[in-house]
Chains A and B, each alone.
Chain A
Amino acid sequence: MLNSTVIELSDALAAKKVSSVELTRLYLDRIKGLNGQLNAFITVDEERSLAQARIADERRSRGEAGALTGVPVAHKDIYCTRGFRTTCGSKMLANFRSPYDAHVIERFNAAGAVLLGKTNMDEFAMGSSNETSHFGPVRNPWDPGRVPGGSSGGSAAAVAARMAPAATGTDTGGSIRQPAALCGISGLKPTYGVVSRYGMIAFASSLDQGGPMAKSAADLALLMNAMAGFDARDSTSLERPAEDYGRELKLDVAGLRIGLPKEYFAEGVDPEVLSRVREAIRWFESQGAETLEITLPNTGLAVPVYYVIAPAEASSNLSRFDGVRYGHRAKDYADLNDMYRRTRAEGFGTEVKRRIMIGTYVLSHGYYDAYYLQAQKVRRMIAKDFTEAFTRCDLIMGPTSPSTAFALGAKSDDPVQMYLNDIFTIPAPLAGLPGLSIPCGFDARGLPVGLQIMGNYFAEARMLGAAHRYQQATDWHLRAPNEAPL
């Protein structure tokens, strides 16, 4: 049961082979057994989850169940949840209890899903290794000496270790796709505006996008059907007709034009990662897909652009944490300004403070044009590279991350090395495009490798279709780590 996909669990619930209470209990026990070692969850509340499971079972007995009714889903601790505390991985919000639910949480509640707990994350989603969390690092279930990736590292580790059948994440510069790759699971960052940001604690508002994480692409489609949709409370939420994200799961791969950006297959990428990615691409070719080399010439500028725009937006968004309306307040201070300065010095961790100060600097008088405006212009150049590319191909494939999971502490002292790790995941959110990562094999150490599939705006269904066809022919996505025996 623990190794089942969401679709299999949904079928088992519908066939009354298992109740939601039994299923929830199974996962809660699993969390109890493994969380001490992996630290994937910040908050678990067994009573509350079981109460939701009982309600789901009652709903089913009334004949009112949908596909996700009774299915336990873990949520990244960036989503505001009534009842469960919401910390965003920060000391600033260590005791914060949200008075409202995020739109994504409302959607899962409406579908009758069970909230299994809140997963660990880099503080305010700022990190690629889950080492910046106030609640300690998450460990990679494939090798506990290594990072799970970040910032949705708790969600990725939880799914990989079978502590949850599915989880939510958020992606600003790769925070769904990179941990999915490093933990050997599937994860989708949708087109900007498809999933509401209401109640998703803001990091960089022009980039942030919520999305699902699970074992399989077919599960991601099912979860997207619940998560996506218009919400008037997010000013950038898109008003579009509802769509079935699973409608292209029977996609015929033959004739599909797959672009391979030469910048993604360059020096600096781990040769084993490139081999696994090339093997996956060869499978698509063997099914009749056409591959062509393309160029995304401004790829090398994506990381510098991101580290202007994301910190600039963060410095503005995080100004709300002032020790007045919610969150931490310093004990000793001389006056109002001193209260702000000490509150923020104590409540934020090193990486968050670093990014707020970078953002403050690039927005400050005399530097705005040189940094912020220039970055916004280069951002458009990066978006145009993709527009050009998608005139020639339907999908773009390449590695999600230049390496497999690295050791805890290996990059935590060198911010620039850490940032460069996201070179292949940062371009899609800069352009607002969707991207997903699926497992495509292992390196010699037994660590998972991720294949990234990017598509044009609103091409999620096709991307999921291609991923699903690959997963029907392979079983990488069903492999579970030995470190977390079933």
Chain B
Amino acid sequence: MSLTPDQLQRIALLARIAVSPEEALGVTDRLNQVLGLIDRLQAVDTRGIEPMSHPLDAQLAVQQRLRSDAVTEADRRADFQAGAPAVEQGLYLVPKVIE
């Protein structure tokens, strides 16, 4: 599988990363090198093998830990918003999305 610059732009849009027309060729080339590397997996016979999403699932009965639905943290909104690019009255500001 090899990407064209047009397909790259589609992926870049999904990833929310602007790729300028000048960069597009070079970025496509490098991504295709990496895709060439991972394409080696296509030839592997994996019939009957369970996908592994947690590295210790074969060793432990890994299950999602649950906690009671209770407030455990103090309100530190001001601390958390101190590093935000734009805040007003405790709200994060973003460009207008609804006219």
Contact = CB atoms under 8 A, between A and B. Distances in A.
A354 B27 contact: yes
Interface string A287-326: 0000000000000010111011000000100010011111
Given A192-B56, A360-B15, A431-B55, A336 B95 contact: yes
B16 A362 contact: no
A353 B27 CA distance: 9
Contacts of B85: 323-324, 326-329
Contacts of B94: 324, 336, 339
A376 B52 contact: yes
Contact of B84 (A324, A339, A354, A415): A324
A457 B92 contact: no
A388 to B, nearest CB: 12
A206 B55 contact: yes
Contact of B41 (A97, A301, A335): A301
Interface residues of A, number: 73
A323 B18 CA distance: 14
Question: Chain A's interface: helix, strand, loop or mixed, by majority?
Answer: helix
Contacts of B84: 324-326
A232 interface: yes
A78 interface: no
B52 A383 contact: yes
A444 interface: no
A232 B67 contact: yes
A344 B17 contact: yes
A408 to B, nearest CB: 19
B15 A236 contact: no
B74 to A, nearest CB: 11
Interface of B, helix, strand, loop or mixed by DSSP: loop
Nearest to B52: A380
A329 B53 contact: no
A307 B42 contact: no
A442 interface: no
Contact of A304 (B40, B54, B59, B76): B40
Nearest to B79: A99
Nearest to B97: A336
A97 B44 contact: no
Interface residues of B, number: 54
A191 B59 CA distance: 12
A348 B16 contact: no
Contacts of A376: 51-53
Interface stretch (A23-31, A48-56, A367-375, A467-475): A367-375
A419 interface: yes
Contacts of A358: 31, 34-35, 38
B55 A192 contact: yes
A206 B53 contact: yes
A436 to B, nearest CB: 17
Interface string B60-99: 1000110100000000100110111110000010111100
Given A364-B11, A457-B56, 20 more contacts: A192-B55, A207-B55, A301-B40, A323-B85, A329-B86, A335-B96, A337-B16, A339-B95, A344-B17, A353-B17, A354-B31, A356-B17, A357-B17, A357-B27, A358-B38, A361-B3, A367-B1, A375-B38, A383-B58, A430-B55
Leading 5 A-B pairs by shortest Cβ distance: A432-B55, A376-B51, A329-B85, A377-B46, A380-B52
Interface of A: 95-97, 99, 191-193, 206-207, 232, 235-236, 238, 301, 303-305, 307-308, 315, 319, 322-329, 333, 335-342, 344-345, 348, 353-354, 356-358, 360-362, 364, 367, 370-371, 373-381, 383, 387, 414-416, 419, 429-432, 457
Interface of B: 1, 3, 8, 11-19, 27, 30-31, 33-42, 44, 46, 49-56, 58-60, 64-65, 67, 76, 79-80, 82-86, 92, 94-97
